[in-house]
Every structure is written in structure tokens, then in C-alpha cells.
Structure 1
Amino acid sequence: MSKQVQVHAALFLVALIYGSNYSIAKEVMPFYVGPFGLIVIRVVSAALFFGIFARFVSKEKIVGWADNLRVILCGVTGVAVNQLCFFGGLNLTAPINAALLMVIVPVVVLVFSAILLRERIGTRKVTGIAVACLGAFLLIYTSRGESATGNLWGDLLIVLNATSFGLYLVLVKPLMQKYKAITIVSRIFTVGAVIVIPFGFSQLLTPDYTAFPTSIWVAIVFMVFAVTIVAYLLNTWALRYANPSLVGAYIYLQPVMAILIAVSVGKDEFTWQKGLYALLIFTGVYLVSRTRQKAAAAVE
């Protein structure tokens, strides 16, 4: 198998993992484990894995007060707030809504880059921001009423999640240029684990785990192992060999996979209105991310 085929296979598997996560997480929440309890399981498990992994492959240390402070901010935005809002929002809203709204991450990255890094925004990117935001607004606005499959507050939490993650991608960029990726990831997950434990500890202790069916245990293992660890490792490996534009193109596949899976397992329904809003969001993100795909191709 050629290296190019391996890269495409890795990126497709990442998109499939992320796309299926929306429906699989809905299977677990909230009937078996509350959203914040699920976050504790996922983040603490990932922190332990990456911490041990980093000790074997890298003994690198974060040096300097400024870099350590930035690591803490990355742990807050990229793990704690990101995960709390994502699972809290997904617990309330429909998988398709969550998947489509997460696509606006490149837009958020551009906005924060302009504010914090003083990057210039041209007319094309401004148009992209406006179009993507219009699509997101219409999707959220229609998530009201008894007939809606989405949820207004859930959608807003997903947007807050995307905003937090977009800020994280801007904050982490200088660190990634100075340190190994595994060094940064192990540190930020440790920070995130410390923060999320107080939020989800009670939900973690509530369930009767002995009564869980095998399918739920498989779902939990999938979210911990596949979504967090395998997807990260595959994405990191692919970025070594793939053009950033190729990695970015697979971002658009994630919501497509999420929609197909959610509809096929009966977790959501795809309407023509959602199709129209998805087209607006995709168009806007495309205009924004033609030169920014690499930054947005990170783990959830």
C-alpha cells in the first residue's frame, strides 16, 4: 500500500470516527452516564494515556512562565470548556445540528487570529464569515418548538464549544512551533482533567456500572480510545505526509459521515432546511479556510 493511500485511509478513518461519535455519545447520554461524568471518563483516561506515552517518547519540559501559562489556557479552552460545552450541548441537541455547527471552527480561528495575532482579513474571508454565521444562525433559530429535532440551548453550547476550541487553536500554535505535539497534548489534557473532575465527579459516581449492557461499554471504550487517542495519533501522523489542503478537505467529510450515521441509526432526521443551512455553512467555511485548513484539522 502506497504512502498516499495510507494517508487517505488514515484521514477517512478519522472522519468516520468523529462522525460516528455524535450518534454513539447520544446512545450513552444521559440514560447511562451524564454528559459531565462521561467527560471525566474520557479526559482523565486520555490524560493518563498521553502522560505515560509522553514519558516514553519524549522527556521534553515546558520552560518559562509564559509558556506554562499558555499551556494552562490551552487546557482550559481546548479541553475543559471545549469538552464540557460539547457533551453538554450534544446531550440536548440533535447529532446533525452539533456536527454542522462544529464546522464553523475555522471561522472562529480566523476571527481570533485577526484579534490576537493581527492577521489581515480580506474581503473573501469576511464574506465567508458572514455566510457561515448566517447558516449557523438559521440552524440555531429553527431549533425551537416541539417539532424541531435540535435544541436552542444545546446548539448555543455547541457554538460556545466551537468558539473555545477555535481560541485554543490560536493559543496553541506558538507552543506547537517550540515543542513536540505529544508534550503539549499531555500537558493540556492534564490541566483539563483537573478542571473537569469537579464538574462531573457526582455524575461519575451515580450510575450502576454493573448493570450496563455490553453495547454501552463498547460505546464508552470507543469514545475514550478511538475518538480521543486513535484519532489524534492518526491525524498527527497524516499531517507529517499530507498537504494541509488535503487534511482540510476531510473536515467537510466529518459532518457528512455524522449525518449518514445519525439518519441510518434513527438518531436524527435530515431535512431540506438543514441541507440549505449546511450549504451556507460549508460555503462560508470554504471561503474562510482555503489557506487555514491545517489549523482546523485537530481533534474534537
Structure 2
Amino acid sequence: MRSHQTSGRWRLGLALSLLTVFLWGILPIALSVTLQALDVYTLTWFRFLISFGLLAIYLASRQQLPQLQKLRSAGLGLVVVATVFLGINYLLFVQGLTLTSPANAQVLIQLAPVLFGIGAIAFFKERFNRYQSIGLSTLVLGLVLFFNEQLQSLLTANSTYLIGSGILVLAAAAWAVYALAQKQLLRSLSSANVMLLIYGGCALLFTPVATPSTILTLSLLHWGTLLFCGLNTLIAYGAFAEALEHWEASRVSAVLALTPVVTLASVEIVSSLLPKWIASEQLTLLGLIGAILVVSGSMAIALGRSR
């Protein structure tokens, strides 16, 4: 089967990847606040539904809805795989977040882009050169240092915390499968069409277990964070899908490693301004050094010349 080829517009791919990083980085805060008043199934269902509805309206207005012939050539089996595994990722990530914390969730979900990058090298024959390999080693070292406190907490945590962490690992694996399937779908469909199909399919999957009536009882604050979560899904995954159209998957995955840095910075800002919303995460000097290494390693992989 012919593999998807990028457009070569790496600057656009980098910009879209950074937008995804920012939106995913601040998402755990909004999810944590929303989960104070809404169950995980209804939250996940709403995120997919609003993303599908808004994207469908946009594509219909531009007469760019997916065509039946292209759907057949793309392979419905691949669409099903991408849909099911993204749905699993969303559900498991939110479940894990409720049992742990935003910082810990971002520690473990970093397995997702790593697995995605490995899969891209295996399935799409992408390669790292020597400088990118050094960058990968720097990135891994940076993550270990950056999350030193969280990793220590993980090793001494109670059973609930450990169960939540295990759920997050499964969420990362599910996301990697989804991302690889999505990249292959770009052979035949535009990124917007791919996401429309996936959003719609996931909304249908969660409809039987969602309780939409509870949304009507939310406060203004929780309504705002819920809407933000929905719009975040639409924009972030749209940017991610489009980034894969223009840039190698292994490099996109490297940039995504910056996400936990954004999360920790956002937690500190929000906790200082609105301490009732979310608790602060203490960042040590060792963690700061790790953050610098994460950024340096990610940029080395992303911007290094390919063979």
C-alpha cells in the first residue's frame, strides 16, 4: 500500500505543530475544572459532537464534504481504526486525569508521541540523522529531569494513583495507533475530511453512555470550560492533522514533546491567579534544567536536516 507523502512545507508544519502543543498544553486545566461538574462520558461526547457539527458546517459552506468515491479509496477499515482508537484515547486520558493530576497526565501521555515517532520510522520509513538522534537523547533526559518530582511521586503513590497512571499509559498507546492510521488516511482524504469522519464516528460511539441533560445544570464557569474543551478539540486536532500533511510524522511527534512544558507553565499561572481552580505544581531547579533540555531536544529533532 502506498504511503502518504508530505508536501514539504516544513515551516507551515512546524507552526501548526506548535499551535497543537499550546492547545494541548492548556487542555488538562480546562478538563480538570469541567470534571468537577460533569462525568467523563458526557464530556467526551460533547467534545466530539461540537467539533463534528462546527467542522461539518464549515466544510459544507465551502463544498468540501468528503465524497463517496474518496471514502472508498481511503479504506473504511482504516477510518474505523482511527475512530475507535481516538475515542479510546479521549476516554482513558480523562479517566486517568481524574485519578491523578494534570502534571502526571502530561508526564505519561508523552509516551504517545514517542510511540508515534517510532511507528512512523517503522511504517513510513522516516529516518533520524545523527543530530536528530542526539536531540532525541537530550529530549528523553530532559523529560526525566523535568518530571523528577512527579516520577518520584508515581513510585510511592497509592493504588488509585497507580491505576490512573496505568490508564494514561494505555491512552498513550491508543493515541499512537490513531495517529498512524490518520496519517495513512491522508493519502486519499484531506485532513479536514479525515477529522470530520473521526469526530462523527466518536460522537456516535459515546452517545449511548452520555447524559446530555446534565449539561443544562452546569454553572456559567463550567459551561465556559466545557465549550473551551470542545473548541480545543476542533482546532488542536485540525492543526495536528494539517501538520501531518506538510511535515514528517517523526518531526511532528518531536515538537509535541513540548506539551508538558506548556502544561506546567499554565498550571503555575492559573494556580497563582485562581488558586481555587487548580493546585500549584512545584518546579525545582532540576525541573527547570529539564525543561530547557526538553525544548532543546525537541527543536533539534524537528529542525534537523533529514538524509
Using structure 2 for the length normalisation, give the TM-score.
0.71
2:26 matched residue in structure 1: 20
Is residue 243 of structure 2 the alignment partner of residue 201 of structure 1?
no
Match of 2:61 among 56, 62, 65: 56
What is the CA deviation profile of residues 212-233 of structure 1, one whole-angstrom value per residue up to 9, with x for unaligned ones? 32111111111111x1123344
- Structure 1 pair 141–285 and aligned structure 2 pair: CA distance change class (3 A): farther
Unaligned runs of 5+ in 1: 293-300
Aligned letter for 2:281? E
Aligned letter for 1:72? V
- Structure 1 pair 122–141 and aligned structure 2 pair: CA distance change class (3 A): farther
1:182 matched residue in structure 2: 192
CA distance in 1, matches of 2:247, 2:183: 19
How does 1:200-219 map onto structure 2 within 5 Å? 200-202=209-211, 204-205=212-213, 207=214, 209-210=216-217, 212-219=218-225
SS at match of 2:282: coil
> 1:107·1:285 contact (CA, 8 Å) conserved in 2?
no
CA distance in 1, matches of 2:50, 2:94: 16
1:158 matched residue in structure 2: 168
Percent identical across equivalent pairs? 20
Aligned letter for 1:88? Q
CA distance in 2, matches of 1:157, 1:284: 29
> 1:135·1:277 contact (CA, 8 Å) conserved in 2?
no
1:36 matched residue in structure 2: 41
Number of residues of Structure 1 aligned to a counterpart in Structure 2: 281
> 1:20·1:261 contact (CA, 8 Å) conserved in 2?
yes
CA distance in 2, matches of 1:280, 1:155: 25
Unaligned runs of 5+ in 2: 1-10, 272-277
CA distance in 1, matches of 2:181, 2:12: 30
CA distance in 2, matches of 1:288, 1:158: 27
> 2:126·2:248 contact (CA, 8 Å) conserved in 1?
no
How does 1:43-122 map onto structure 2 within 5 Å? 43-57=48-62, 58-59=64-65, 60-61=67-68, 62-64=70-72, 67-77=75-85, 79-113=86-120, 116=123
What is the CA deviation profile of residues 113-158 of structure 1, one whole-angstrom value per residue up to 9, with x for unaligned ones? 456557778998699589849949985573255699x922222222
SS at match of 1:151: helix
Q: Aligned-pair distance for 1:245?
A: 9.4
CA distance in 2, matches of 1:8, 1:130: 20
Q: Aligned-pair distance for 1:270?
A: 3.0
CA distance in 2, matches of 1:290, 1:128: 10
Aligned letter for 2:165? D
> 1:86·1:158 contact (CA, 8 Å) conserved in 2?
yes
